Amino acid sequence: MEFQEEIRRKKGREKIVMLTAYDYQMAKILDETGIDLILVGDSLGMVVQGHKDTKKVTMEDMLYHTRAVARGAKKTPIIGDMPINSCNTVEDGLRNAKRFLEAGAHGVKIEGNKPEVIKALINAGIPVMGHVGMLPQLSETYRVKGKNPEEAEKIFQDALELDKLGVFSIVIECVPESLAKSITEKVKAPTIGIGAGKHCDGQVLVINDLLGLDESFKPKFVKRYANLNSVIKDAVSKFVEEVHTGRYPDKEHTYH
């Protein structure tokens, strides 16, 4: 069964789990956890490159990280996040989506409602994941979208159109739970929420947020399942102490 059909089949039956990965080591770990999808997100602009948003991420950046993830994940389908300005035209969209597949991705995610591009990709046999709600590539500030009726209706209609185009799933980001619920109940494609409440067909988080790597970044929707920031600092502190005191390297960790 094609992976996108397997994802579609889960709607209303089994929750979908997607996490981001940006490198070989993390992809290899996630590949053994039983999650449904790995997203090579353009969020790497923030968590890997240190930018304030995703707007400076290039196709070359995305392809580099997609190749690394593909070396580590051998079982889990990989979705490449089309970065800003990579699919402004049908020609650009087709060319860059094919580059993602060549790099090891199994499908691509496109932010916003770009019907001509999405239709062309799907017609070319390229699986497309939609993305509505808060769109980091377009937003000047990161905030909840769809609180006023006009904005909510636009998001709702965009989701309906993406569904009609044939996307295999739709990410809903940072919207009121009631809006995400309405979309999920109306569309045939499974919805994957991030800051969109419990009624979506699945959930996605940035792996760095889930693992608690950045103590300064914690939007309301992020739940930390570990605090690796402290774990890493503690481990490095112990290493520094043992080097300074001469306890490392000891006999056990020295070649003879």
CB contact set of 110 (below 8 Å; sequence gap of 6+) = 82, 87, 93, 117, 118, 121, 128, 129, 130, 131
User: What pLDDT, on a 0 to 100 scale, did the predictor assign at position 217?
Assistant: 85
What is the Cα–Cα distance from 98 to 107, expressed in whole angstroms?
9
For residue 244, the Cα-to-chain-centroid distance in whole angstroms is 41
Percent of the chain at pLDDT above 70? 100
Partners of 19 in beta bridges: 38, 205
pLDDT at 16 over 90: yes
Q: CA geometry: angle at 225 spanning 175 and 173, to 5°? A: 15
pLDDT at 254 over 80: yes
Residue 108's identity, in one-letter code, is V
Q: Could you tell me the two tokens for 61?
A: 């950046």
Tell whether domain 3-225 is in CATH 3.20.20.60.
yes
For residue 44, the Cα-to-chain-centroid distance in whole angstroms is 9
CB contact set of 97 (below 8 Å; sequence gap of 6+) = 80, 82, 87, 108, 121, 124, 126
CB atoms within 10 A of CB 103: 20
Q: Which of 6, 102, 111, 173 is catalytic?
A: 173
**Per-residue pLDDT tens digits for 68-100:** 999 999 999 999 999 999 999 999 999 999 999
pLDDT at 249 over 70: yes
- What are the structural domain ranges in the chain? 3-225, 227-256
User: What pLDDT, on a 0 to 100 scale, did the predictor assign at position 218?
Assistant: 85
pLDDT at 251 over 80: yes
Q: Could you tell me the two tokens for 77?
A: 């389908």
User: What pLDDT, on a 0 to 100 scale, did the predictor assign at position 1?
Assistant: 59
User: What pLDDT, on a 0 to 100 scale, did the predictor assign at position 6?
Assistant: 97
CB 213, CB 221: distance < 8 Å: no
Task: Map residue 98 onto helix, strand or coil.
Answer: helix
**Per-residue pLDDT tens digits for 35-69:** 999 999 999 999 999 999 999 999 999 999 999 99
**Per-residue pLDDT tens digits for 128-177:** 999 999 999 998 888 999 999 999 999 999 999 999 999 999 999 999 99
Closest alpha carbon to 152 in 183, 112, 184: 183
173 is catalytic: yes
User: What pLDDT, on a 0 to 100 scale, did the predictor assign at position 141?
Assistant: 84
Residue found under tokens 């999808």: 37
CB atoms within 10 A of CB 206: 22
